Amino acid sequence: MASRAAGVPETFPKLLIRNAHLYGSRPAMRHKDLGIWQSWTWGEALEIVRAYAVGLSRMGLKRGDTIAIVGANRPKLYWSVTAAQMLGAIPVPVYADAVAEELSFVLAHADVRFAAVEDQEQVDKIISVKDRLPKLERMVYDETRGLRDYDHSQLTSIADVIEEGRKALASDPAVGKWLEAEIEAGKGSDTSIILYTSGTTGTSKGVMLTNERSIRAAADTVAFDKLNERDIALAYLPIAWVGDHYLNYAQGMVAAFCTACPENADTAMADLREIGPSFYFAPPRTLELLLTRMTIRMHDAGYLKRKMFDYFIGVARRYGERILNGQPVPLMGRLLYAIGNVLVYAPLKNVLGFSRVRVAYTAGEAIGPDLFAFYRSIGLNLKQLYGQTEAFLYVTAQPDGEIYSDTVGPACPNVDIRIEDTGEVLFKSPGMFTGYFKDAAKTAEVMTPDGYVKTGDAGFFDEKTGHLKIIDRAKDVGKLNDGTLFPPKYIENKLKFYPNIREAVAFGDKHDFVCVMLNIDLTAVSSWAERNNVVYGSYQELAGHALVYDMIEKHVAEVNRSLAQEKLMAGAQIRRFLILHKELDADDGELTRTQKVRRGFIAERYAPLIAALYDGSKEADISTEVTFEDGRKGVLSARVKIRDMAPVAAPALEKAA
């Protein structure tokens, strides 16, 4: 059975074969290695993946087996996914930065027999938990450095596996026919991948996605954004995240565009400038970081450059979005914008790597209106989408010309959305999952009898635009003791709109008032400290500095003024705040691997600080266990200051109303 999209095969291996036939000489994959960009065409990719599949089969991988994919964005790891799918095996990507405990949970839960990993670091992590993985038989690896003296009885380089497959295909025609039969036996209804959720609300769950549903969803959005074989995307997002598998793997296969892998995470932004993608995705935090770095550089620029930059950014804010949306703009405005484009906007986009971007998306968290408007004003076609792993990403997306900073767009093509009386958003979509792996009970919890999926998010459709607005996680929305609505993420996102604030966690449900714990952004605040002659020796020292508290207090006061203007939120102003002595970290269990706050865990870990926020204390002592990069653990102790905030006075509330 073929996909709904005419002419699109029903499985990913069949898509690869189609691409090799139609676009054989066009680039399918690029990778920067040792400073040099290497390219593989669709024809070359098919030849490599076929050989890889044969090699894996000879090692014992067979239909229905699961194979872990652990590492950063590298061609051989993407090819590991397709090679496994050729055999009817199921890839299970795992976050490259997952600590051994997280890694062992996923590999054990998924009954993994094989693992394709990036390098020595991942091999070592798996070896350290091997006693918890009784079903794991073999590992294959990409980077050979450091592994020469390891026991290779259960360890093989991916290059050797591919070479073994090449030899078998060359020496025996029957092997090629057997592989063709295996590929042909693959069905659209087969599970094509298991993606584990980030675990925001508890233990990660394995989301089972099928070939046909994934391809249907990707075909819809490829058509929606007019993606084609001439496009190029930078694959720098975690391969275990649904966003990467959808945006780069599934859409890349359907549209046959080129996926470029950076040399490593540290060079991703420089590689972005070199590769010049036409299709780009970045979470709000990445866009904030880019703008923060650029702002810091402008602070250090000469007087005339700063003045020119500020003037033309002002021009962009007045006219940029209207020009991008095709709206009427006065002739003088167009002329000024054109001059600004030559002097500021085009060079700026070139520095950021956005010169060729035709379509850009952001999602994951709410993006600040000013940040969103800034990128659009300089000519970047930045849009928002809303999705989930269970939907195979897209639920809503903003069409060109209908872009609003406070919405996530209407339902995507062939997606149906329903809002329950409780405010929870439900959906049906072409790419929706078939269930959680080995967890029928959890599957039943999120599925309605008529086939909709419960997102767990509260939202509503905006009457003016018809677009969806997401308020918060439905279960996180609470009330203060006086009945005032308390949506923590809404307040947190307002705080995170300021470049100096990296993370925020708000508390208030079943309390008399709202308090927040904050992380400062080290890059932004250290730059501010240098300009203001603030001396510090560590993050902890900078976070506790009185002048930093004064600066952050101004941001909190501005958020309170903003909340005061909203009738439902005026009573949820922030009354007390503190700056944490350490950055919240996924390795410490405080954030998910997709950088979402694990609210319940944080409330438990920092209970002494929360108690101090509500008992009137001016400071509180805290000792926190931290995990270092090499897996060792230590304890970080500090005395954390607490700052009081005066709520906006009643007259101001009346005026705002």
Q: Mean pLDDT score of the chain, rounded to an integer?
A: 92
**Which helix (DSSP H) or strand (DSSP E) does residue 396 occupy?**
strand 393-397
Query: CA–CA separation, 480 vs 571, rounded Å?
Result: 9
Range in 6-15, 199-208, 243-252, 516-525 with the lowest mean pLDDT:
199-208
**How large is the C-alpha radius of gyration of the chain?**
26
Kind of pairing between the strands at 206-210 and 232-234: unpaired
State pTM to two decimals. 0.84
So what's the pLDDT on residue 655?
42
Which residues are 503's β-sheet partners?
519
- HEC string of 450-516? CCCEEEEEEEEECCCCCCEEEEEEHHHCEECCCCCEECHHHHHHHHHCCCCEEEEEEECCCCCCEEE
Q: What are phi and psi of 264, to 5 degrees?
A: -165, 175
Q: Which pLDDT tens digit goes with each residue over 330-352?
A: 999 999 999 999 999 999 999 99
So what's the pLDDT on residue 621?
94
- Which of 440-444, 471-475, 582-586 has the highest mean predicted lDDT (pLDDT)? 440-444
Residue 444 in this model has a pLDDT that exceeds 90: yes
Burial 392-410 (b: 16+ CB within 10 A, else e): bbbbbbbeeeebbbebbbb
Confidence band of 38 (pLDDT split at 50, 70, 90): very high
Most distant pair of Cα atoms in the chain: their distance: 86
Q: In angstroms, how far is CA 123 from the centroid of its own chain?
A: 25
So what's the pLDDT on residue 366?
76
CATH entry 3.20.20.450 includes domain 12-210: no
Top pLDDT among 102 and 454 is at 454
Confidence band of 358 (pLDDT split at 50, 70, 90): very high
Top pLDDT among 434 and 570 is at 434
Output the six-digit token pair for 266: 């540290």
So what's the pLDDT on residue 654?
45
Query: CA–CA separation, 219 vs 395, rounded Å?
Result: 14
Q: Which pLDDT tens digit goes with each residue over 255-307?
A: 999 999 999 988 998 999 999 999 999 988 889 888 888 888 887 888 899 99
Range in 188-192, 324-328, 473-477 with the lowest mean pLDDT:
473-477
Asked if residues 162 and 52 have their Cβ atoms less than 8 Å apart, the reply is yes
Confidence band of 652 (pLDDT split at 50, 70, 90): very low
* Alpha-carbon distances of 603 from 288, 364, 597, 600, 611, rounded to whole Å: 26, 22, 11, 5, 10
Residue 490 in this model has a pLDDT that exceeds 90: no
So what's the pLDDT on residue 200?
55
Of 481, 485, 433, nearest to 454 (Cα)? 433
- Which of 52-66, 451-465, 563-577 has the highest mean predicted lDDT (pLDDT)? 52-66
So what's the pLDDT on residue 657?
39
Residue 474 in this model has a pLDDT that exceeds 80: no
DSSP 537-577: SSHHHHHT-HHHHHHHHHHHHHHHHHHHTSTTTGGG-EEEE
Q: Which pLDDT tens digit goes with each residue over 125-143?
A: 999 999 999 999 999 999 9
Asked if residues 257 and 227 have their Cβ atoms less than 8 Å apart, the reply is yes
Residue 653 in this model has a pLDDT that exceeds 70: no
Of 364, 429, 444, nearest to 390 (Cα)? 429
How many residues does this entry show for the chain?
Answer: 657
So what's the pLDDT on residue 566?
76
Confidence band of 565 (pLDDT split at 50, 70, 90): confident
Sign of torsion over alpha carbons 404, 385, 283, 298: negative
- Domain 12-210 and domain 477-656, same fold? Reply is no
So what's the pLDDT on residue 630?
62
CATH entry 3.30.300.30 includes domain 477-656: yes
Output the six-digit token pair for 67: 């194979």
Query: CA–CA separation, 193 vs 13, rounded Å?
Result: 13
3 state SS of 295: helix
Q: Which pLDDT tens digit goes with each residue over 70-85?
A: 999 999 999 999 999 9
The average pLDDT across 604-625 equals: 94
So what's the pLDDT on residue 631?
66
Q: Which pLDDT tens digit goes with each residue over 378-421?
A: 999 999 999 999 999 999 999 998 999 889 999 999 999 999 98
So what's the pLDDT on residue 471?
80
Q: Which pLDDT tens digit goes with each residue over 232-265?
A: 999 999 999 999 999 999 999 999 999 999 999 8
So what's the pLDDT on residue 218?
97
So what's the pLDDT on residue 315?
96
So what's the pLDDT on residue 199?
65
Where exactly are the structural domains of the chain?
Answer: 12-210, 477-656
So what's the pLDDT on residue 6?
54
